[in-house]
Amino acid sequence: MRNFLLIIIAAISLAGCKKALEPDEENRRTVEQMYEDGGYAQGFIMNAYRSIPGYYDNSEYATDDAVTNDRINPFALVATGSWTANNNPLSVWNQSYGAMQYINLFLANVDSVKFAADKEANTLFRMRMKGEAYGLRAMYMYFLLRAHAGFTDDGQLMGVPIITKLLTVESPVDEYNTPRATFAACMEQIYKDLDSAQSMLPMEYGDLNTLTGRVPDQFRSVTVNVNVYNRVMGQYSNQLFNGLIARSIRARAGLLAASPAFQHVSNTARWDSAANYAAAVIRHKGGANALPNDGGTYYDNRSQIDGLSNGNNPPEMIWRENFVGDNNEQEIQHYPPSQFGNGRMNPTQNLVDAFPMANGYPISSNLSNYDPANPYAGRDPRLAKYIVYNGNTVGFNNPVILTGSGSGSDDGINVRTNSTRTGYYMKKRLRQDVNRRPGATANRRRYYPRIRYTEIYLNYAEAANEAWGPTNGGTNAFSAYDVIKAIRRRAGVGTTNGDAYLEACKNDQNLMRELIRNERRLELCFESFRFWDLRRWKASLNETARGMDVNAAVYTPIVVEPRVFEDYMYYGPIPFSEVLKFSNLKQNRQWR
């Protein structure tokens, strides 16, 4: 952790070695200069934003949902036995503690910063940015726990070191050699920071009507002037951390803490708390039936994406990155080779089999009407939207893709180094109007999510079912059953038979648990949840990845790639380099 402060200090005050490379004296920045330069001070918070982990980390390559044709991809190596404390692509240690050092530096100095000449605006700016800082710090602690919490050799459930003050080069060595706090203490710190964030931030940013608007009660002790409020909390602050994001991070953290992997006498997290945290977000959205009808295709809602302006969100989004124009990043990586892509994400037969029939029954059910000789017919509509199977279409002008090894197509199994290994390509995440053909390329605007409403609804369904059963919502007006019914109805599942399978599950908590987990798998596929979900559920990590070779209407199952995980890998390691440097930092058991 010490090296991150050195980076910060170097950026602020250290000079180069040679005079020719040294900046002029007036261009060197010190901490004290932030007091008169609000933009410079805000830059420390913006550095914390820049370190937020990307939404699509492609960790599916290490699960039963996908493999990749990039044989040296770090996650492919993790899945096949090369995961060590010294080689961990899932680590967020460095970026998280680095971001928290910027945050702690900001918080240590913000009360002396002048953000605006107007006294009320200045107070509001301080309030908002402190709220952002606390919220971001809580978020980074959540990411650290998800990746690095676990049991030590003595059987204790531990989190990570809690660092809430700025460490400087003058700080005592023992402040750097901080032991890991308990998992429970880390959760308390998350909730404490989120409480601070929520007290200082509006639920959502947006301009109030200058004639009829009223400043929200929590800010009226600072100002009643709508123009001042809009200057600080209006639309120009969209996509900064807000109160709704804080509530969503609380829901994520609560779900993690209540999950089977973290059950221990020292951890008092409860399913009902996790459910209520998610319920607060759902109520803000409008209830169980308020999910946007097009939320499942957020990545390809073209007119919606192209019309984004002023930092506004599509209805499905709680938080997103800024949009980028003229973009084809996902299509380069994941279009099939016939569409001039690298075909990296290869969904498995395991995942395809998880999609039910359109009547809502799993394909394993005698009531499903599943036909192994025509396996893609009559399926859940999400299958065709999210996965390219043999005979499905993808890309500009909707060409038909043939994936069989004997199809004569570049898209066939293992035909090229960038062809599928499973007989499937990913369709989700891609804009179908991107054209990669040389001489006729057409790129499009896109954005990357950070938090979707659908995730929070699924969080609620899981926690509510565990806390109260399928049809009881506790003190909430909706249950796990209500949420899953809404999600499946949106997907077009069970609409012709009253979703008879869901009705059969609603009286059985165990069946509902399986259904909720499966709906989560489908709704959030390729969005980097599966790896983390399997681990927090302590579910099998070693399901062999399978595929399907289709040639002349003959369907041949194939074994594609084994998974090599040990039970201790339900918990990620503390970086080996950190354990070597700091004697008080205990490693999770069995990691070396």
Please answer whether residues 586 and 179 qualify as being in contact, where contact means their C-beta atoms are separated by less than 8 angstroms. Answer: yes
Q: Per residue in 181-220, is it b (16+ CB within 10 Å) or e — as a string?
A: bbbbebbebbbebbebbbebbbeebbbbeeeeeebeeebe
CA-to-CA dists, residue 285 to 25, 259, 288, angstroms: 52, 25, 9
Q: What Cα–Cα distance (Å) separates residue 592 from each residue in 228, 262, 569? A: 55, 21, 12
Backbone angles phi, psi at 479, to 5 degrees: -115, 175
Task: Give the total residue count for the chain.
Answer: 592
Question: Which candidate, 211, 31, 28, places its Cα nearest to that of 106?
Answer: 31
Q: What pLDDT score was predicted for residue 28? A: 62
Residue 84 DSSP SS3 = strand
**Whether 460 contacts 278, CB under 8 Å:** yes
Q: Kindly give the residue spans of alpha helices, DSSP state H, lying in 528-582.
A: 530-537, 576-581
pTM of the model: 0.95
pLDDT of res. 566: 96
Return the beta strands (E) in 508-590 as ranges.
545-551, 554-561
DSSP 357: B
pLDDT at 9 (0 to 100): 44
For 537-552, letters b (16+ CB in 10 Å) and e give: eeeebeeebbbbbbbe
How many Cα atoms within 13 Å fall on the side-chain side of residue 24? 2
Q: Which residues pair with 317 in a beta bridge?
A: 452
pLDDT of residue 12: 38
pLDDT for residue 169: 78
Cα 582 to Cα 295, 345, 585: the distances in Å are: 46, 39, 6
pLDDT per residue, tens digit, the chain (592 aa), is 444 444 444 433 333 333 333 434 445 678 889 999 999 999 999 999 999 999 999 999 999 999 999 999 999 999 999 999 999 999 999 999 999 999 999 999 999 999 999 999 999 999 999 999 999 999 999 999 999 999 999 999 999 999 999 988 778 877 889 999 999 999 999 999 999 999 999 999 999 999 999 999 999 999 999 999 999 999 999 999 999 999 999 999 999 999 999 999 999 999 999 999 999 999 999 999 999 999 999 999 999 999 999 999 999 999 999 999 999 999 999 999 999 999 999 999 999 999 999 999 999 999 999 999 999 999 999 999 999 999 999 999 999 999 999 999 999 999 999 999 999 999 999 999 999 999 999 999 999 999 999 999 999 999 999 999 999 999 999 999 999 999 999 999 999 999 999 999 999 999 999 999 999 999 999 999 999 999 999 999 999 999 999 999 999 999 999 999 999 999 999 999 999 999 999 999 999 8
- Bridge partners (DSSP) listed for residue 346: 67
- Is the CB of residue 215 less than 8 Å from the CB of residue 224? yes
d(CA 154, CA 239) in angstroms, rounded, equals 43
DSSP string, 386-444: HEE-TT-B-STT--B----TTS-STTSTTSSTTS-SSS-EE-TT--TT-B-STTS-B-E
Contact 540, 554 (CB under 8 A): no
Question: Using a CB cutoff of 8 Å and minimum separation of 24, what contacts does 169-178 make?
Answer: 169/5, 169/6, 169/9, 176/1, 176/2, 176/582, 177/582, 177/583, 177/584, 177/585, 178/1, 178/582, 178/584, 178/585
**Calpha distance 289→296 (Å, rounded):** 14
Conformation bin of residue 166: beta by default, left when phi > 0, alpha when psi is -120 to 50: beta
According to DSSP, residue 379 is labeled: B
Question: Hey, what are 145's tokens?
Answer: 């726990």
Question: Which tokens sit at 246?
Answer: 């804080």
